[in-house]
Chains A and B, each alone.
Chain A
Amino acid sequence: QKEVEQDPGPLSVPEGAIVSLNCTYSNSAFQYFMWYRQYSRKGPELLMYTYSSGNKEDGRFTAQVDKSSKYISLFIRDSQPSDSATYLCAFGAQKLVFGQGTRLTINP
């Protein structure tokens, strides 16, 4: 079983839609939960991170963690064409483990 599972997509939605991106994990030792955004041919940039179950909000972005189900989500409200990118979940313990990334396109 993979430590992290992330649907690679691609996911295409119209501008203004609510986007839901998800990852599941199997390693109970993971203590930190992160979302990165990566534009084409660029390095990833950290969007959000949290270490507890529940929701964390930052502008149009909400990160949700459910440790009991080993499931994390990223919600994007009022999606914009500039949100088009690959989104990677990542998990921290004794190392950083990344999901494979979901390619997202927001259509004007």
Chain B
Amino acid sequence: DGGITQSPKYLFRKEGQNVTLSCEQNLNHDAMYWYRQDPGQGLRLIYYSQIVNDFQKGDIAEGYSVSREKKESFPLTVTSAQKNPTAFYLCASSMILSWVGEAFFGQGTRLTVV
């Protein structure tokens, strides 16, 4: 079955640590996205990538980094520079870069700072 797989489902980070969230898709989609979801704020775009080896900052990229070395993979690193990283992180993909809601979402990773 095709889809988007995010791992882990739950992640705990200590203060000052970097952590990496995994996102893999087998839909052969070119475009991939990372969103952050906080209670009462909806989804906010962190980074997106249109093709391999290319990515763009979204609205809240500070404190995050990404890579796109393979078409099917778009990992997100939450660095120690991100002051408030506790949130629900969602990865999505679409056939081409699209803002018309054609993206498919993964099941999310809930990150908690301890």
Q: CB within 8 Å of B: which residues of A?
A: 4, 6, 8, 32, 34, 36, 41-46, 49, 51, 88, 90, 92-96, 98-101
Contact = CB atoms under 8 A, between A and B. Distances in A.
A90 B101 contact: yes
Instruction: Pick the 9 closest A-B CB pairs, nearest first.
Output: A43-B105, A34-B101, A98-B42, A92-B99, A98-B43, A100-B42, A32-B100, A49-B101, A96-B99
Contacts, number: 56
A5 to B, nearest CB: 11
Interface string B4-22: 1000000000000000000
Nearest to A49: B101
Nearest to A96: B99
Interface residues of B, number: 22
A94 B56 CA distance: 13
Contact of B101 (A8, A43, A46, A100): A46
A46 B110 CA distance: 21
Nearest to A6: B42
Interface in B1-46: 4, 40-45
